[in-house]
Structure 1
C-alpha cells in the first residue's frame, strides 16, 4: 500500500488505566491494574485464552465501564477505531459498508464513493466492491474492517485478535495493514497469543495471566530478559491455555 496520508502531527494523548478492575455477576474477571501507554507505539497484549486480553481492550476503548478504577486520556480523547476478531459488517456490499460509515461520520455525499473506493483499492478489495460483505472470506472481511477503520483516520487503533483463524497469506495482509496504520502515525493496541507475531510487530508487550497484569516491558526486554516467571513460562509455551 503506497501514497500514505500521514495524520496531522499532534501528540497522541497518553492512555492511563488507574486501579482498573472488572467483575461480572460477582466474579472478578480482571484484577485491579495500573497501566500507562504513551507515544505512537505498537503495544501487543498477550496471554493465554481467558487471561483478560479482550476485556482489557474493551475497557480501554470505552466499550465497557470498569467496576473499579478509571480509564482516562491525557488532555483529550483521541480519534479511535476498533477491529474485532469477527468483524461486524452490515448486510450490504463491501462498498456500501464503507459509504455508510462515511455517512455516519458526516462525510459529504459527493465524496463518499470516491473515498470508499480509494480505501478498497488500498486494502486489495477493489474487485469485490459489489460483493455482499458477509459472504467475503475471513481475510477479506478483516481487510474490509481495516479499510473502514482507515477511513476514520484514527489516532489510536484497537485490534482484538485480528488474525485469528486466518491463513498465512491473510495474516500477512493484515500485518502489513497494521504496519501501514503505524507509519501513518496511528498508535496500535492489539491482542494476540502468537509469539512470532508479537516479535514481528511489537514495540512493547503487555502480558496478562489469570486476569492479572503480569508484565509490561519493551518487546526486546520481554523476549530476551523477561522479568516474571509467567513471562518466561509463556515464552517457553508452558502456560496453561
Structure 2
C-alpha cells in the first residue's frame, strides 16, 4: 500500500434538488488500500461510489483519479481502470461464462473464454459456465458479478454491499476472493458495507458517513477500538446515529 492517493476529492458536493446528499470538503483514498465505507442507509455511501466510478459528476468540486480529473466526461481509457459492482447484480442475457467474459471481449482479449473459466473456478461456479445467466440463483448471480468485475484486472474495485443477502459461506468466499486479488495485484478497493464485523475483517481503513459527510476516517483497529468522534463511538456500539 502506497501513501499516495488513488483518489483525491476537493470541495465536492452532490445535491438532489435542494437536498445535499454528499458534502466532502477533502477526502482521499490511498493507492492500494482497502477502504471500508460504513454508515446507515441514506448516508451517501452509494452516491460516493458512483462518483468514484465516474458514473456521476458532482454539482460542485472536483474528483481526481491518479492526478487526472475524473467524472462522467473522463477519458474512456481512464474509466476502464475502475469497476463498480452494484448491490444488485446486473447480468446480461447469455451464459454465465459470456457474462464473466463481457469486459474481456470489449477489450479484445482473444482468450477471454479461458480467463472467464479461471475466474469462475475462483468463485466456485465453474460448473455453471454454460448455464443461462437468467437461470441461476441470486447468490450465484452475485458471485458471477464479482468474477466479471475482477476478470479484466481493474486497478480500482468499488463494491456496494457485495455480500448483502448472501449466506455466511458465500460472504466468506467473496471476502477471500477480493482480498486475494488485492494482495496479488495491489488493487485499490473501496467497499461499502453495513456489517461492522466485515469492515473490521477486510478494511485497512474505515470511514463513517452520516448525512453525506465523512465523520471519521481511521485505521480499522483504531476506528472500532478507540474512535475519536462520539458519533462514531455510538455507531460502533450499534446505536442509531443521525
Same fold per TM (> 0.5)?
Answer: yes
Deviation at 1:153, TM superposition (A): 0.5
Deviation, structure 1 residue 170: 1.4
Matched-pair contact (CA < 8 Å) for 1:102–1:112 = yes
2:74 alignment partner in structure 1:
none
Instruction: Give runs of aligned pairs for residues 91-102 of structure 1, distance below 5 A.
Output: 91-102=93-104
Equivalent in the alignment of 1:3: none
Does 206-215 or 132-141 show the bigger shift?
132-141
Within 5 A, what are the aligned runs for 1:1-241? 14-75=6-67, 77=78, 79-108=81-110, 111-184=111-184, 185-240=186-241
Q: CA offset at residue 196 of structure 1?
A: 0.5
Shift of 1:11: 9.6
Q: 2-side partners of 1:70 and 1:155: how far apart? A: 20
How far is the alpha carbon of 1:145 from its aligned partner? 1.1
Mean alpha-carbon deviation: is it higher for 99-108 or for 35-44? 99-108
Structure 2: state its 5+ residue gaps: 69-77
1:188 positional shift: 0.8
Matched positions, count: 231
Number of the residue aligned with 1:6: none
2: CA distance between counterparts of 1:33 and 1:169?
A: 39
User: 2: distance between equivalents of 1:175 and 1:134?
Assistant: 25
| CA RMSD, Structure 1 to Structure 2 (Å) | 2.0
Which secondary structure does the structure 1 equivalent of 2:101 belong to?
A: helix
TM-score scaled by length of structure 2: 0.89
Q: Distance in 2 between matches of 1:151 and 1:58?
A: 20
Q: Deviations over 1:164-221 (max 9, x none)?
A: 1111111111111111121122111000011011111111011101221111111111
Q: Which whole-Å CA distance do the structure 1 matches of 2:192 and 2:16 have between them?
A: 21
Deviations 1:110-152 (A, max 9, x none): x121221122112211100111213322221121111112211
Q: How many angstroms does 1:45 deviate by? A: 0.3
Q: TM-score w.r.t. structure 1 length?
A: 0.89
Shift of 1:227: 1.0
SS of match in other structure, 1:14: strand
Structure 1 residues 174 and 104 mapped into 2: Cα distance closer, same or farther (>3 Å)? same
SS in 1 for 2:21: strand
For 1:136 and 1:13, the matched residues in 2 are separated by 39
Cα deviation, residue 54, structure 1? 0.5
* Secondary structure of 2:25's aligned partner: strand
